[in-house]
Amino acid sequence: MPKIQCRNKNIYYEIHGEGEPLLIVNGIMMSTASWLPFKEALTSKYKLVLFDMVDQGQSDKMAGEPFYTQDYHVEIIRELIEKLNLGKIHLFGISYGGEVAIKFALTHEDMLHSLILSNVPFKTNGMLRYSAKRWADVFKTYDGIAFFREVSQLIYSENFYDEHPDWLVEKEKFFNQILPKEWYDGMVRLLESGDDYDPENELHKINTKTLIIGGNMDRITPVKYQQQIAAKIKNSTLIIVDGAAHVLPYEKPYAFCATILGFLEVYKKEIKAM
């Protein structure tokens, strides 16, 4: 289990494959393990770099530490890139991880080949802030079934609930058995760290070639959010996947992988033609 010290914290990471680095920033309740179903596809032509942010997965937890913001993750990513000698990277972020990726692009754009964003909020508005408070309240109960029911009512597309009722019940049981108290505490801190996320007046500063992916059934970060981001980032491409909600990679894995790999291949051809 490789770990590296960044900002005096032990950060768990994995590297798979060869080629230009594609570094993934997890969504708030994800970890490096979340990307196992996509590893083969994404490592076909790229060096896949996975890591757990603080308060996620196998990285250090911030219990007893001062309050931190998403800028803390940004600097950990910078150190991670430098210490692993990755050079320029393709940076992918989903949901909360997309917020961190945007902040990284605004402060360390010189370290990027490209930026890929999936299901990302335009900013933390009243609805998202209220949802975060609801989630934090249920996390504090340490009840896996209550947690999964609260979160899952928004993250899947409408058809998913009809098509996978048994899977949902199994997931409830799984989360009720496996998650330790420290996991829930970490999720609360991560939610709090995104409370002031609002890059609206800075997005226009991003010049990096950017891909923005959304799902037409996403209720947490709806299509209009992706359109707002795309309108601000001048060198961007917007792709909306039909029949997908907030967990787009899992509902539409083929479309997800094809969209990312297609974007990166076009990027490489454009660079060669310059």
Q: Can you give the pLDDT at residue 269?
A: 79
Share of the chain above pLDDT 90, in %: 88
Kindly report, residue by residue over 1-54, the tens digit of the pLDDT: 699 999 999 999 999 999 999 999 999 999 999 999 999 999 999 999 999 999
| Cβ neighbour number for residue 44 with a 10 Å cutoff | 12
Question: Does residue 119 fall inside a structural domain?
Answer: yes
Q: Is the dihedral of CA 204, 206, 209, 212 positive or negative?
A: negative
Question: Does residue 253 fall inside a structural domain?
Answer: yes
> Tokens for 123?
């900013």
Question: Does residue 157 fall inside a structural domain?
Answer: no
DSSP label at 88? S
Question: Does residue 255 fall inside a structural domain?
Answer: yes
Question: What rounded mean pLDDT belongs to the chain?
Answer: 95
Per-residue burial over 64-76, b if 16 or more Cβ lie within 10 Å, else e, is eeeebebebbbeb
Question: Does residue 243 fall inside a structural domain?
Answer: yes
Question: Does residue 178 fall inside a structural domain?
Answer: no
Nearest-angstrom CA–CA distance, 69 and 67: 7
Of the listed ranges 90-94, 109-113, 151-155, the least confidently predicted one is 151-155
Give every CB contact of residue 68 below 8 A, 6+ residues apart in sequence: 54, 62, 189, 193
Nearest to residue 19, comparing CAs of 48, 51, 56?
48
CA angle (61, 62, 63) in 5-degree steps: 100
User: Where in the sequence is the domain holding 69, given as residue range(s)?
Assistant: 3-125+197-273
CATH of the domain at 43: 3.40.50.1820
**β 47-51/89-94 pair status:** unpaired
Domain tally, the chain: 1
- The pTM (predicted TM-score) of the whole model is 0.96
Give every CB contact of residue 60 below 8 A, 6+ residues apart in sequence: 9, 10, 11, 54
Question: Does residue 163 fall inside a structural domain?
Answer: no
Q: Can you give the pLDDT at residue 270?
A: 80
Region 187-200 average pLDDT: 96
Kindly report, residue by residue over 63-103, the tens digit of the pLDDT: 999 899 999 999 999 999 999 999 999 999 999 999 999 99
Question: Does residue 244 fall inside a structural domain?
Answer: yes
